[in-house]
Amino acid sequence: DECLRGAVGAASAAAGARLDFLQVHSYAHKGKFNPTSPFLHSEADFRVSAPLLIGEFVLGQKAEGRTAEQLYGWAHSHAFAGAWGWTAVSQPTLFAGMASLQGYANVSAVTLTHATPPPPDTCSDCSDVPSNTRYTCEQQVRWGKCGEPWMQGFCCRSCHGCSQCESRRSLLAREQEPAASTYGQPDWSHTAYRDYVMQTLEEHRRRTRL
């Protein structure tokens, strides 16, 4: 808090500027937690004035092999203000650890909106073609890029759950087709203009023959 008040200026400092909460990340190094890791201490050991939560941790070797249930259970039973498990892949998840907190008397509810399995795929011809060869559909989903305009018509299975796949592919196909062109009503896009010129020449030859 002292550092914050020194950085924000006299007015904010006088108004009592302070941090609402503190967080610390914890990853095991070479299979072992650092001696100062929150998974080796209680919240009170840190002697801080604001609520302290464990801001980031994972499963496996970087957690001394502990399970999600053990990690969340430790955070709760050692009085931390919260725990934010983190993962960049779909498996393994930390849902089991969060769900295990429902067994504690002072936890009234645990809502896991993303814990349910995805609905079964009922699309027989659902496209899951990435927008380029550099990044996969799974990466685009992870990075939140599915709604970008340049993703339209791509990664239908991963991004859109096969919903309206056909309409998206049809739209993309229409955009890639050369625009229709009729004699006397040119469309000035490159491909359509070429068609227009060819059509005009053909019309000229027909009239010449007549």
Per-residue pLDDT of the chain (210 residues; tens, 9 = 90+): 667 767 766 666 566 777 888 999 999 998 899 999 999 999 999 998 889 999 899 988 889 999 999 999 999 999 999 898 887 776 778 888 888 888 777 887 776 665 455 555 444 456 678 888 888 888 888 888 888 877 777 888 788 777 655 544 454 555 555 554 444 444 444 455 555 566 666 666 666 655
DSSP 37-49: -GGGS-GGGG--S
Give the model's pLDDT for residue 187: 44
Give the model's pLDDT for residue 174: 52
Angstrom distances, CA of residue 93 to CA of 59, 82, 87, 96, 194: 9, 17, 7, 7, 55
| Cβ atoms within 10 Å of 29's Cβ, excluding its own | 10
Per-residue burial over 59-74, b if 16 or more Cβ lie within 10 Å, else e, is beebbeebbbbbbbbb
